[in-house]
Structure 1
Amino acid sequence: MVRAYTRKEYIRKNPNSRIVQYDMGNLREEFPVSLSLAVKKPAQIRHNSLEAARVASNRLMQRAAGRMGYHLKLRVYPHQIVRENPMATGAGADRVQSGMRNAFGKPISVEAIVKKNQRIITIDCNAKNFEEAKVALKRAGMKMPVPCKIVVDKGAELIK
């Protein structure tokens, strides 16, 4: 599949992604349990939704497991550039506006295109922090514009 608007060299002003970090927590340790947030339908997720989900889940995991008790990874990158044709409002807007003539639009944002069942966020943790990781992913899912599910990737036998 060829993405429609990802080539940044053709665009005059590149919109910046607001995502600060993609890997958080303890990056060196191997954790026995791994959970992921997966989307139920194909969607386009803007960078500010991804950042809000990252902040919400990271904050909860940092409080529950400590700074070195987990590894959170954001697994999608916003490549697709979103354009908007801004319409003028107010008095005299009809004389200023050109309507749908030359309606290509200006780049305003970037978004990640995700497929069905694609994992967005993954949390690796110890078995004792499994419930907190589940709550953290649920909170991250609330920031997404698409229905999400929590999938246990590794260590399901340790959780009883």
Structure 2
Amino acid sequence: MPVRPARCYKRIKGPPYTREEYIHGAPMIQIPKFDMGTTSAAARTAFTMTAKLVVEERGQIRMQALEAARQMASKYLTKYVGDANYYLRLNVVPHHVLRENRMLAMAGADRLQEGMRLAFGSPAGRAARVEPGQVLFYAEFKPEHLPHIKEALRRAASKLPLPTRIVIEPKGNGGNKTVT
């Protein structure tokens, strides 16, 4: 069956559903990498700037949207900046298991389904629950790559169902921020 639109899942309803030992058939997390670019700590000392993609509303982001955003940002940065010139990290993990009470839509379906009886639903996907101000993506880079980093995070934000903002600041800076 096709995936339902993001509007079906982006609002938080009820407590998190994360206990995998009680959930049979929970899908695996389909995000292969959370760290991209230069991942060694020694090489990252040359980076003097940081950028963050910060979410502005409370909600849920499905793992498909997170993976699409990760791929978009990573491919753009690899093409225009090069793998050795940035570090990008996806900070959220989709632990919450989404449920779906599938309904059939065909002739004679009323004899096959139960309607709202036993409507708890079966596992249909995963989502990350986020709060306002939570960092989704974190990037380290050199100042000359700032326009490309901003564009990569802007493209990643276009794949997400919640409004976001990009925060640029010097690395290791305690309080001074530049919000764009």
TM-score (ref. length: structure 2): 0.83
Alignment of 1:20 onto 2:32 = yes
Q: Which residue of 1 aligns with 2:89?
A: 73
Structure 1 SS opposite 2:70: helix
Q: Which runs of 5+ in 2 are unaligned?
A: 1-13
How many Å separate the matches in 2 of 1:69 and 1:83? 40
Q: Which residue of 22, 40, 53 maps to 1:37? A: 53
Q: Which residue of 50, 68, 72 maps to 1:52? A: 68
Structure 2 SS opposite 1:110: strand
TM-score (ref. length: structure 1): 0.93
- What's the Cα RMSD here? 1.7
Is the 1:4–1:80 Cα contact (8 Å) retained in structure 2? Answer: yes
How many Å separate the matches in 1 of 2:147 and 2:54? 17
Aligned ranges 1:135-146 → 2 under 5 Å? 135-146=151-162
Moved over 2 A (4+): 153-157
Alignment of 1:129 onto 2:145 = yes
Q: Which runs of 5+ in 1 are unaligned?
A: none
Alignment of 1:87 onto 2:103 = yes
How many Å separate the matches in 2 of 1:41 and 1:92? 42
**AA paired with 2:16?**
A
Q: Report the alpha carbon displacement of residue 129 of structure 1 after superposing the two structures with TM.
A: 0.3
**AA paired with 1:14?**
A
- State the aligned residue count: 157
Is the 1:54–1:140 Cα contact (8 Å) retained in structure 2? Answer: yes
Alignment of 1:117 onto 2:129 = no
Is the 1:26–1:70 Cα contact (8 Å) retained in structure 2? Answer: yes
Structure 1 SS opposite 2:21: helix
How many Å separate the matches in 2 of 1:112 and 1:20? 15
Is the 1:3–1:80 Cα contact (8 Å) retained in structure 2? Answer: no
Structure 2 SS opposite 1:108: strand
